[in-house]
Amino acid sequence: MEGALAVPRLPPHDPSTPALSVVDMHTGGEPLRIVLAGCPEVLGPTLLAKRRYMRQHLDHVRRRLLLEPRGHRDMYGAVLVRSELPDAHLGVLFLHNAGYSSMCGHAVLALGRFALDFGLLPAPPADVREARVNIHCPCGLVAAFVACEGGRSCGPVRFHSVPAFVLASDLMVDVPGHGKVVVDIAYGGAFYAFVGAGQLGLDVCSAKTRDLVDAASAVTAAVKAQFEITHPESEDLAFLYGTILTDGKDAYDEEPTTNICVFADEQVDRSPTGSGVTARIALQYHKGLLGLNQPRAFKSSATGSVFTGSAVKEAKCGDFKAVIVEVSGQAHYTGTANFIVEDDDPLKDGFLLK
């Protein structure tokens, strides 16, 4: 179209509702929508209290950011908040299609870049090639290490997890439509059920995504009904986030092992799942299949993207033997946006198709 249009900075909208300004990124194909401005203050003395406050009082922000018509059922978000921890550069609340998570590895990898590039910590000297970013997640403090050049991010990011541990191994669960299934439950900042897809009659590398989602959702529902999830430090962390179906190749190999994560309300992770990789490495270490500092590659069956990880040291979480896990991946910027609300829009708070 010839000529320049006199376009206002924002279209007409409700002046009493600030626009939500965001930066969009993705890590291994999994999206992340980071709020720059427009979210009301999230109140609470601790990060977990802020998570509860947002769920109770500001859930319309999550819905407007992530659901249609501004997002989609698999969109993921992050709201940055002040942390009560003196060593944290930022605090973050993770948003998904059904609520709020306790940890998100793909988001941490992206937020490491974002924090450095948007000045949330002092710029490192020009000769520094990796900057540390301390990110307070609901599960605890996570250290991200961002490759940089000239004070800006320039490559992959790695993070060191909170203590990751196995809650239950070789658990027999009755899954409707599939019978008795052997399930492992492990924690990597969030709890996941792990199942070899072959037990469900599926090949995680070639099956239709819909079939994998249905099977994983059945496992999640069965585990929730038959097993109590507990966390030694906080009831806020005691929930099953989802199920990760694997190719069953848990013994160490130089070739990547493939998995897919289905979490929240049948949301499909496009990446190998950072917190899921953390939990899966803790599970492999627990079973003697992986040693300390032995790297393993994890491939997403959805996109083919790869994260690498390793158990870097032993730790404790309550009475559980645990490990600190390092996970590495690459995040990319995809754009910016301003989202507005018209007061007479009946769908202004979003909707989710099922």
> Which residues have a catalytic role annotated?
104
- Antiparallel, parallel or unpaired: β 130-137 and 90-96: parallel
* CA–CA distance, 163 with 153 (Å, rounded to integer): 27
To the nearest 10 degrees (0 to 180), the angle between helices 105-117 and 274-286 is 130
Give every CB contact of residue 225 below 8 A, 6+ residues apart in sequence: none
Which of 354, 340, 285, 346 minimizes the C-alpha distance to 64? 340
* CA–CA distance, 252 with 211 (Å, rounded to integer): 28
Q: Catalogue the E-assigned strands of 86-221.
A: 90-96, 99-101, 130-137, 140-149, 152-160, 165-175, 179-187, 191-196
Give every CB contact of residue 325 below 8 A, 6+ residues apart in sequence: 160, 161, 164, 188, 277, 278, 281, 282, 309, 310, 311, 312
| Amino acid sitting at position 154 | C
Q: What share of the chain is helix, strand, coil (3-state, %, to 5)?
A: 20, 40, 40
Query: In sequence order, what DSSP letters do the residues of 29-48 get, joined into one string?
Result: TEEEEEEEE-PPP---SSHH
Q: What is the phi/psi pair of residue 302, to 5°?
A: -80, -40
Q: What is the maximum alpha-carbon separation in the chain?
A: 69
3-state SS assignment for residue 312: strand
